[in-house]
Amino acid sequence: MNDARSIRVLLVDDNEIGSELLAEFLALSGVETRCAATGKEALQLADSFFPEAVLVDILLPDMDGYQLANLLRARPAPPRIYALSGLARHDRRDDAGGVFNGWIEKPADPDALLAILRQAD
């Protein structure tokens, strides 16, 4: 499971139990992980933690995942941003701007998720 390269991942989800569990799993797999429950918190963490990948839930308390992704994209050296959402694929908004690098449906297979996070830019 361990990979030589350690990466920094930010989880943005107001479902804190889910986030904590995922963070614990990723930590076991050698991924450095931070959790944010709101968009605002995520933006603050992005300034100090410099994540390489961000997993964003679409339905956040203060903004939606699309807005957050756009704000993150607007920064210098933006991270890879993935939607991690319970919305079924056909309920997604048209992702015309290509704001996400990928879409991962809940519940995600942990190993597959890990593989996505580890893939090179």
Partner 1 sequence: MNAPTQSHPPVTLANCDSEPIHIPGAIQPLGALLAFDADGILRFASENAAQLLGSQLTLGLACAPGALPQALAHYLETWLRNADPIFDPLTITLGATTYDVIGHRNGDGLTIIELERRTEDNSVADPALIYRSIERVRRQPDTKSLLDSALREVRRATGFDRVMAYRFHPDDSGEIVAEQRHDTLEDWVGRRYPAGDIPAQARRLYTVNTLRQIADAGYQPIRVLGAPSTSPRPLDMSFSSLRSVSPVHLEYMANMGVQASMSLSLVIGGQLWGMIACHHHSPHPIPYPARLACEALAQVLSAAIANIEGNARAEDARRNAALVSQLAERVSASENVPHALSCGPQTPGSLIPGDATLCLWGNSVTVFGGIAPRGELAGILCALDQSGQRLVHTDNIARDYPDLQTDLVPYAGLLACKFDPMNNGWLIWLRKEQIETLVWGGKPEKQYAVGSLGPRLTPRGSFEAWREVVRNTSMPWLPAELEAADNLRDELSHIATSRTADVDRARTALLAMLGHDLRDPLQSISMAATLLSKTDSGARMGERIRYSSGRMQRLISQVLDLSRLQGGMGLGIEKRPCDLSVLVNSLIDEKRQAYPGLRIEPDIEPGLNLMADTDRIAQVLTNLMSNARQHGAPRQPILVQARRIGSNIELRVINHGEPIADDLLAHLFSPFKPESLGQSRNRNGLGLGLYIADQVVRDHEGDIAVDCHDGLVCFTVTLPRDLRDTLHP
Q: Is the dihedral of CA 118, 119, 120, 121 positive or negative?
A: negative
Which residues from 39-98 bind partner 1, rule CB under 8 A? Answer: 86-91
Nearer to partner 1, 7 or 87 (CB): 87
Length of the chain: 121
Of 121, 42, 56, 49, nearest to 84 by C-alpha is 56
Phi, psi at 72, each rounded to 5°: -70, -40
Binding string, 24-43, against partner 1, x = CB under 8 A? xx--x---------------
> 48 with 72: CB under 8 angstroms?
no
Nearer to partner 1, 24 or 62 (CB): 24
Asked if 110 is part of the footprint of partner 1 (rule: CB under 8 A), the reply reads: yes
Instruction: For strands 53-56 and 80-85, give the pairing.
Output: parallel
Asked if 18 is part of the footprint of partner 1 (rule: CB under 8 A), the reply reads: yes
Q: Is the dihedral of CA 8, 47, 37, 106 positive or negative?
A: negative
Binding-site member from 7, 43, 63, 108 for partner 1 (CB under 8 A): 108
Binding-site member from 3, 5, 6, 21 for partner 1 (CB under 8 A): 21
Task: Tell me how many residues contact partner 1 (CB under 8 A).
Answer: 21
Residues that bind partner 1 (CB under 8 A): 15, 17-18, 21-22, 24-25, 28, 86-91, 105-111
